[in-house]
Amino acid sequence: MRKRRIALLLGLLCCVSCSSRNGGRDGGKHTPGQAPAAERFIGPSDGSVRDAHTGLEWTSRDNARGVTWPQADGYCRELTLGERSDWRLPEIGELQGLYDERLDQPCGDRICHLDPAVQVTNPYFWSATHKGSRRFYFDFRFGESLSPRPKPGLVRRVLCVRRSTP
């Protein structure tokens, strides 16, 4: 009877271990002391999600089309979701904070690395960060920030952010 209980307990431990490695949303690869990916974003279901790690609130989808930097900035400033209108274009570091190489989601015909609670249609996103006339954007495929020489007509997608109020 004792051997049977031990075997049952070992079997349960193995199942829990295997399911967290293979079946969990974050693949069992989260940092200790940090919320697993499945618990990171809380959605009020009004088109936004709150990041439990940073307290920032993000639009839960991008704008679904490429726009120039001035259009991206205007899009966020004019956005109203759930009676909240204090949206802005994120800084490059805030976009980097969304990048998570443990997670994969389709973004157009590519794979991007961020929680699927934030849906994207392309890997490239404008930020508010700039150096002189260079505007930075973020690549969710490789986790890189880029600042090309200014070109009229360069288009990227938009995610908007705001400081969440409790």
Domain CATH number, residue 146: 3.10.100
Q: From CA 18, how far away is CA 8, in angstroms rounded?
A: 15
pLDDT band, residue 166 (cuts 50/70/90): low
CA 115, 116, 118: angle at the middle one, nearest 5? 85
pLDDT tens readout for residues 91-129: 999 999 999 999 999 999 999 999 999 999 999 999 999
pLDDT band, residue 37 (cuts 50/70/90): low
CB atoms within 10 A of CB 42: 13
In a domain, 4, yes or no: no
User: Which residues form the domain of 143?
Assistant: 38-163
Question: If you average pLDDT over every residue of the chain, what do you get?
Answer: 81
Question: Where do runs of H (alpha helix) occur along 23-162?
Answer: 37-40, 69-78, 92-98
Task: Supply the pTM of this predicted model.
Answer: 0.76
DSSP secondary structure letter of residue 34: S
Domain count, the chain: 1
In a domain, 140, yes or no: yes
Strand ranges in 108-157 using DSSP code E only, listed in sequence order:
110-112, 124-131, 134-139, 144-146
In a domain, 10, yes or no: no
